[in-house]
Homo-oligomer: A and B are copies of this chain.
Amino acid sequence: MSSSNSRRLNIDNINPHVRAAKYAVRGELAVKSEEFRAALLRGTSDIPFSQVISANIGNPQQLDQKPITFFRQVLSLLENPLLLENEDVLINHLGYKTDVIERAKWFLKNVGSVGAYSASNGAPAIRQHIAEFLEKRDGFPANWQDIYLSAGASSGVNTLLHIICADEKSGILVPIPQYPLYTASLSILNATCVPYLLDESKNWGTDINTIKESYQKAKDAGVDTRAIVIINPGNPTGASLSEEDIRAVLEFARQERLVVLADEVYQTNVFIGEFISFKRVLRQLQKENPDGKYDCVELASLHSVSKGMVGECGHRGGYFELVNFDPEVQAEIYKFVSIMLCAPVIGQCLVELMVNPPKPGEPSYELYQKEYRGIYEGMRERANALHKAFEQMEGVECGAPQGAMYLFPTINLPPKAAEAAAKEGRTADEFYCMKLLEATGVCVVPGSGFGQKEGSLHFRTTFLAPGTEWVGSIVKFHKEFMDQYR
């Protein structure tokens, strides 16, 4: 009896739905890039680049981005409240402003120790401040009891899909291309992904007719489509939806009784157009229709501290707001989140800081504003530099940077490249991205990891990495790749 054969678990008998899930953002290429990084640290000499650039994932603080000082000063006091016994030292020797100290005291009074479990749906005082933020943002009231803190938006999506999907016939409309959290979570839940294509020719906007066709096709196949996911601004596309597009989606959701899942984590990462929340448009429609016909449209909107100018991915903070949900369903959501006890409390505090930053006139405002603008402008500059490089590259098409943290260029590769890829058992975009990594150390994600229109090829790159050298190395690689396979 061989011991390895007699283990209980093997690849063929574990949960087949986990096995079926795909998550390319941290897949083979990412693993390979970490191997390169480790080899470089060991001083391996036969690697043709000197550093790995992780452009595969929106992880700002792994790269150039510094955290916002005000946020981190407050968090340092929450981690060590004993520091508050020496306010004069904090102020006179360490540059802490009085509003930092006041905010920390507010947290300690209203939330308590960050080492204690909070309420499972989040500390009430924090949820109240989120509601105030939403009221200001949207111009409509928000109810703090409809707000649920989560460990990043990913955990919120996981909760919502768990509630909505009842069985394998339950379908969720998911944009293609999409952030693969959605398809992976649906695989694991053994529910049905109902893909709808975004329109690259219209800056990756939604096309309501395409959505309707996908919905109808699924219906004909017996799928019970229950919800539609919208990522706005888009990931991987960066596109911001117009109010018209949002209205069309909400009207369709009303007609077909679909829950709307609005992934709005990039709401402050907007370079072209403006961010308009689904909540605002839904409340507007409710106001315009006193017959109540929109009062049945259920919306869950998600936000996170990981993106925007905050970029605090490692803290795993986020929330979702439920609009027009049934109280009995909300009670089940509460029960579901309570099984994992609560979201990280220090991450919850960061959510509060994000939605309630220093205001004009307050001691920390000037520095906060300077840092915030600096991060925003830095991202835009890097996005434009990268875009300019793509414009020079043969067979590469890429719209102007619109938002989020990504560019998602089309790559037109020669047939010989596709043949070479097939020989390695890869798609052409995977092949291209692997060669790019091996030649330059730049790790991007092939378009197939997000889904793309049949016959088209893309890759997603963040524009977070500092410097321009890595951009130059992509241009050089691309030319050589095309020369080899043209």
- Give A residues with C-beta under 8 Å from B: 1, 3-4, 6-11, 13-16, 18-19, 21, 23, 25-27, 34, 57, 59-62, 67, 69, 72-73, 75-83, 86, 89, 93-94, 112-120, 151-152, 154-155, 158, 162-166, 181, 184-185, 188, 226-227, 257-259, 292-293, 295-296, 298, 306, 311-316, 324-326, 328-329, 332, 335-336, 338-347
Contact = CB atoms under 8 A, between A and B. Distances in A.
21 contacts: A1-B293, A6-B257, A8-B258, A9-B298, A9-B326, A10-B328, A11-B326, A11-B328, A18-B332, A21-B336, A61-B116, A62-B116, A72-B82, A73-B80, A76-B76, A76-B83, A89-B94, A115-B313, A154-B341, A185-B339, A316-B341
Contacts of A13: 166
A120 to B, nearest CB: 6
Nearest to A155: B340
A103 to B, nearest CB: 13
Ranked 6 nearest A-B pairs via Cβ:
A314-B345, A76-B80, A3-B295, A26-B338, A75-B79, A61-B116
A34 B119 contact: yes
Contact of A315 (B114, B120, B314): B114
Nearest to A11: B328
Copies of chain A in the complex = 2
A305 to B, nearest CB: 9
Contact of A10 (B93, B113, B329): B329
Contacts of A336: 18, 21, 188
Contacts of A7: 257, 296, 298, 324-326, 329
A341 B57 CA distance: 10
A142 B474 CA distance: 41
Contact of A166 (B15, B154, B166, B312): B15
Contacts of A113: 61-62, 67, 314
A76 B3 CA distance: 47
